[in-house]
């Protein structure tokens, strides 16, 4: 299918052929009829993308500060490469569309195939022939409303929410500053509310449109010094203009009456002229998108609605109200449509919009023709490569998932790995799949990972998806006869772990299953382990991990997606302790901080104590309370009169017999390339230095025991010989000698 995409790194806009998205649970698959180009928003996105690296840095000084702190700890070259990888992200343009339902995902009620719907949301209602939309971002289109009118939904609810915040009523005098698309919609909504509306814009060409759509008075060009509001000021002033300075704020203050309201819907520099705001006691508020629910993952993605009696107008209910206003003729859309382009001519539309004056554009629509029937929702798009077939002996690889972590670290490492052929890559997002396929040189891309599992030419798959999908895809891949590399964690709960072990047992260990515990493959970690490889006494190990905070709404913290940071991140250090000790955990105990002032999950700040079969012990302090500028990871090992210290995988100190030896690495190497080499060596030879499967199972089980210990406050036995014989997980793994 065709989709409009911008490269955030270069700013280039292109019309790409990408795979059709799958109909996801909780969502709808829509065949697009029309989508609206948001001139102001999309132009600003494009302009930002076209800035140089320096220009982007100036626009986001907060990210530059974080990058510099990261570089000091991990190395400047490594940080720079990761930053370039994050910049090289394709952006799907568009956030307001309308079309026909051709697929209804699981858990979705109230929609049927064939119904007309309006769709909203950046990253969802894109300029594409097919779009997958969460159910909370769709509403049915009334019979009297056309696809073209419904495509204005997102801009309509942004304007509507601004009017609601102004709290105007019959007879109120309201000023609207800025007569672009948002301003002209706002004028109509205010007239529908029974208000007297004054409109202002610097462009004289906007006057006729504003008057046609109901403005009682319109001034364009230079604002007169007084008399506009009959000397008393306006009850509310709504700013819908887009400006780089604070002039709209200053004008709004002049126009507003004593104890009136100023609502910022558009974009302006927020520099409030204190004296006049103080003298008039003006109330100021910024309007957030389309209303309650906007940008809230639990609302938009998970479909958790706000209670109707307490939150009357969510963005979905605003969308229903806006379409109803169109249906009854209170909002007229036809006069706002200035240009129409077929999706095939989308680039011409953007070239026109980026020119000075934009050709008088207000409402620009992209239109679409039917290209696929409703049952054709799995499409694989082939991409050209310099070498189209694998060389003799090369392992053919499929990759499932290409998020930020994969693109920044694992996929660049995969490209450098010898003896493999990149066959196919699958991601839920067709834009991402297409971009990754071209960038890294895969033969084809898809939005359905099962395409890779059904490809008999693929020998091994890499599972780089969100954590909640790992267990399911690992089992399906093993059943399909594929060797599997899965990024940690192996799974997110104990029941999934049991299922994976049973699957692995059923295939009689004929396939390699490797979990992405890369740190044990770091040159610095290998060097530290070698200092204690012949230890005759148990090790005493200390790990301090300064991870920094994550927002509570981050997907890693979501129990159904990421499993939390203990399962998803702390598992690294359980595995590393196993590697250093050469032994499995036998007992686990954990504590978390507790405070009435705690603003984040208590499980972001914990202390874990692990005892191993050989008598070694490890203490892991895992905290989000520190400063990111401080070193992230520090490991200390004590044994037989010697001490080894590893700091951020860049500096190692070894102290023995009163002498200290220090080794340094210029850049941090966390072992990503080495772990892939080890995995593919094991695939090729049936053996190799990959992670023993019992280590991967034990590290997962240990994280689940840590969570249990945090809940019960008890120390949990999990590794004594008697327990191991009784454990449904470990005993299944140990039943086969080739696990060892």
Task: For 556-602, write each residue's pLDDT tens digit.
Answer: 555 555 568 899 999 999 999 999 999 999 999 999 987 655 555 56
Output the CA–CA distances (angstroms, integers) from residue 237 to 130, 142, 154, 184, 240, in the order listed.
Answer: 39, 32, 21, 14, 10
Confidence of residue 91 (pLDDT cuts 50, 70, 90): confident
Q: Is residue 497 helix, strand or coil?
A: helix
Going by C-beta distance under 8 Å and a sequence separation of 6 or more, which residues neighbour residue 255?
A: 175, 177, 198, 228, 229, 233, 234, 237
Which parts of 520-595 fold into alpha helices (H)? 523-531, 564-565, 571-581
- The pLDDT, as a whole number, for residue 52 is 57
- The pLDDT, as a whole number, for residue 526 is 95
Q: Tokens 């307490």 map to which residue?
A: 310
Nearest to 237 by CA among 300, 163, 296: 163
Residue-wise pLDDT tens digits, 526-544: 999 999 988 889 999 999 9
Q: Residue 71: pLDDT above 70? A: no
- The pLDDT, as a whole number, for residue 70 is 60
CATH topology of domain 519-739: Dihydrodipicolinate Reductase; domain 2 (3.30.360)
Average pLDDT over residues 99-118: 94
- The pLDDT, as a whole number, for residue 680 is 94
- The pLDDT, as a whole number, for residue 733 is 43
Q: Residue 343: pLDDT above 90? A: yes
For the chain, give every domain's residue range: 2-152+333-367, 157-286, 391-517, 519-739
CATH topology of domain 391-517: Rossmann fold (3.40.50)
Alpha-carbon gap, residue 319 to 160, rounded angstroms: 9
CB 600 within 8 A of CB 627: no
Least confident of 218-232, 463-477, 605-619, 628-642: 218-232
Average pLDDT over residues 341-360: 82
Residue-wise pLDDT tens digits, 10-36: 778 899 999 999 898 999 999 999 999
The phi-psi region of residue 158 (left if phi > 0; otherwise alpha if psi is between -120 and 50; otherwise beta) is alpha
Sort 220 into a burial class: Cβ within 10 Å, 0-12 / 13-18 / 19+. middle
pTM of the model: 0.81
Pick the CATH number of 157-286 from 3.30.70.580, 3.40.50.720, 3.40.50.740, 3.40.50.460: 3.40.50.720
- Count of C-beta atoms within a 10 Å radius of residue 595: 8
Q: Residue 715: pLDDT above 70? A: yes
Alpha-carbon gap, residue 693 to 504, rounded angstroms: 10
Confidence of residue 253 (pLDDT cuts 50, 70, 90): very high
- The pLDDT, as a whole number, for residue 387 is 47
- The pLDDT, as a whole number, for residue 732 is 42
- The pLDDT, as a whole number, for residue 593 is 87
Confidence of residue 738 (pLDDT cuts 50, 70, 90): very low
Nearest to 694 by CA among 588, 549, 578, 605: 578
* Cα 562 to chain centroid, rounded: 12
Asked if the 2-152+333-367 domain carries CATH number 2.60.120.200, the reply is no
Average pLDDT over residues 273-290: 92
- The pLDDT, as a whole number, for residue 371 is 58
Mean pLDDT of the chain: 85
* Cα 366 to chain centroid, rounded: 26
Alpha-carbon gap, residue 471 to 484, rounded angstroms: 11
Structure tokens at 707: 């969570």
Q: CA-based Rg of the chain, rounded to a whole angstrom?
A: 29
Confidence of residue 39 (pLDDT cuts 50, 70, 90): confident
Q: Please calculate the CA angle 334-337-341 and round it to the nearest 5 degrees.
A: 130
- The pLDDT, as a whole number, for residue 388 is 56
- The pLDDT, as a whole number, for residue 43 is 67
Alpha-carbon gap, residue 197 to 215, rounded angstroms: 5
Least confident of 8-17, 311-320, 423-432, 648-657: 8-17
- The pLDDT, as a whole number, for residue 58 is 53
Alpha-carbon gap, residue 734 to 182, rounded angstroms: 66
Alpha-carbon gap, residue 417 to 440, rounded angstroms: 12
Residue-wise pLDDT tens digits, 135-152: 999 999 999 999 999 999
Confidence of residue 719 (pLDDT cuts 50, 70, 90): very low
In this structure, what is the dihedral angle of CA atoms 702, 704, 709, 711, given to the nearest 10 degrees? 170
In the chain, the percentage of residues whose pLDDT exceeds 70 is 83
Q: Do domains 2-152+333-367 and 391-517 have the same CATH topology?
A: no
Structure tokens at 665: 């690495």
């Amino acid at each position: 299918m065709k989709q409009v995409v911008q490269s955030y790194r270069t700013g280039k806009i292109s019309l790409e052929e990408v795979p059709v998205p799958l109909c996801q649970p909780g969502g709808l698959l829509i065949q697009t009829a029309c989508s609206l180009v948001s001139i102001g928003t999309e132009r600003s996105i494009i302009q930002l993308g076209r800035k140089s690296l320096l220009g982007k840095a100036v626009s986001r000084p907060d990210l530059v500060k974080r990058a510099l702190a990261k570089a000091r700890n991990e190395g400047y070259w490594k940080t720079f490469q990761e930053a370039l990888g994050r910049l090289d992200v394709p952006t799907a343009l568009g956030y307001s569309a309308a079309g026909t339902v051709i697929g209804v995902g699981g858990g979705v009620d109230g929609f049927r195939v064939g119904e007309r719907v309006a769709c909203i949301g950046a990253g969802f209602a894109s300029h594409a022939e097919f779009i997958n939309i969460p159910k909370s971002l769709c509403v049915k289109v009334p019979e009297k409303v056309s696809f073209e009118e419904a495509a204005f939904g997102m801009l309509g609810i942004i304007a509507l929410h601004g009017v609601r915040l102004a709290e105007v009523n019959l007879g109120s005098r309201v000023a609207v500053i800025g007569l672009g698309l948002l301003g002209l919609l706002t004028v109509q909504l205010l007239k529908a509310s029974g208000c007297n509306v004054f409109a202002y814009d610097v462009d004289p060409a906007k006057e006729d449109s504003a008057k046609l759509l109901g403005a009682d008075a319109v001034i364009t060009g230079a604002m007169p010094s007084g008399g506009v509001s009959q000397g008393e000021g306006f009850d509310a002033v709504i700013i819908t203009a887009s400006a780089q300075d604070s002039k709209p704020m200053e004008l709004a203050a002049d126009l507003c009456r004593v104890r009136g309201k100023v609502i910022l819907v558009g974009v302006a520099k927020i520099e409030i002229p204190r004296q006049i705001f103080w003298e008039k006691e003006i109330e100021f508020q910024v309007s957030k998108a389309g209303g309650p629910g906007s940008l809230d993952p639990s609302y938009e993605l998970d479909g958790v609605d706000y209670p109707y009696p307490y939150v009357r107008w969510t963005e979905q209910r605003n969308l229903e109200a806006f379409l109803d206003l169109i249906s009854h003729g209170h909002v007229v859309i036809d006069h706002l449509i200035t240009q129409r382009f077929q999706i095939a001519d989308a680039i011409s539309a953007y070239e026109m919009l980026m020119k000075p004056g934009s050709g008088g554009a207000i409402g620009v629509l992209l239109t679409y023709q039917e290209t696929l029937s409703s049952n054709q929702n799995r499409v694989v798009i082939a991409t050209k490569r310099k070498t189209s077939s694998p060389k003799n002996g090369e392992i053919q690889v499929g990759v499932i998932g290409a998020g930020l972590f994969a693109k920044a670290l694992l996929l660049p490492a995969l490209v450098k790995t010898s003896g493999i052929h990149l066959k196919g890559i699958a991601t839920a997002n067709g834009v991402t799949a297409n971009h990754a396929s071209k960038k890294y040189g895969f033969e084809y891309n898809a939005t359905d990972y099962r395409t890779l599992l059904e490809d008999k030419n693929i020998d091994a798959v890499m599972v780089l998806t969100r954590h909640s999908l790992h267990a399911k895809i690992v089992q399906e891949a093993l059943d399909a006869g594929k060797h599997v590399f899965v990024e940690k964690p192996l799974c997110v709960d104990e029941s999934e772990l049991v299922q994976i072990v049973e699957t692995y047992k059923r295939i009689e260990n004929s396939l390699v299953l490797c979990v992405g515990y890369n740190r044990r493959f770091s040159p610095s970690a290998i060097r530290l382990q070698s200092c204690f490889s012949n230890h005759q006494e148990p090790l005493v190990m200390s790990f301090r991990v300064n991870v920094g905070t994550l927002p509570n709404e981050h997907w890693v913290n979501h129990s159904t997606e990421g499993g939390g940071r203990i399962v998803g991140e702390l598992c690294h250090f359980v595995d590393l302790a196993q590697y250093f000790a050469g032994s499995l955990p036998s007992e686990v105990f954990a504590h978390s901080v507790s405070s009435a002032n705690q603003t984040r999950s208590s499980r972001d700040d914990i202390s874990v104590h692990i005892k191993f079969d050989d008598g070694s012990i490890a203490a892991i302090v895992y905290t989000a309370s520190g400063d990111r500028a401080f070193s992230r990871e520090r490991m200390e090992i004590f044994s037989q009169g010697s001490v080894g210290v590893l700091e951020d995988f860049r500096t190692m100190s070894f102290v023995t017999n009163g002498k200290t030896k220090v080794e340094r690495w210029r850049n941090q190497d966390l072992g990503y390339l080495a772990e892939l080499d080890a995995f593919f060596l094991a695939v090729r030879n049936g053996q190799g230095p990959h992670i023993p499967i019992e280590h991967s199972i034990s590290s997962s089980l240990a994280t689940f025991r840590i969570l249990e210990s945090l809940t019960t406050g008890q120390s949990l036995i999990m590794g004594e010989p008697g327990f191991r014989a009784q454990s449904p997980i470990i005993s299944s793994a140990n039943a086969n000698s080739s696990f060892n």
